[in-house]
Amino acid sequence: MSASRPRRRLRLCFVGWGAIASRVGELLAERQPAGVEIVAVAVRDPEIGRPSMPTGARLITRPNELAGLDIDMVIEVAGRPAVAIWGEAALRHAASFVVSSVSAFTDESMLGLLLAVADEAGSRIVVPSGALGDLGALAAASVLPIDEVRHTIVKPPLAWQGTRAAEMIDLDRLARRTEFFAGTARQAADAFPQNANVAVISALSGIGLDRTRVVLVADPAAVRNIHEVSAIGAFGKLDLRLENEALKTNPKSSEMTALSLVRLIENAVAPLVR
As annotated, the binding site for NAD(+) includes 131, 197
Q: At residue 180, what are phi and psi to the nearest 5 degrees?
A: -120, -5
- Assess contact for 136 and 235: CB atoms under 8 A: no
Q: Measure the CA angle with vertex 227, ends 225 and 231; round to 5°.
A: 180
The residue annotated as part of the active site, out of 93, 186, 213, 227, is 227
Amino acid at 232: I
Q: What is the DSSP string of 195-206?
A: TSTHHHHHHHHT
- Assess contact for 182 and 151: CB atoms under 8 A: no
151 is a catalytic site residue = no
Torsion-angle region of residue 16: left (phi > 0), alpha (psi -120 to 50) or beta? left
**How are beta strands 58-60 and 36-42 bridged, if at all?**
parallel
Residues recognised as catalytic: 227
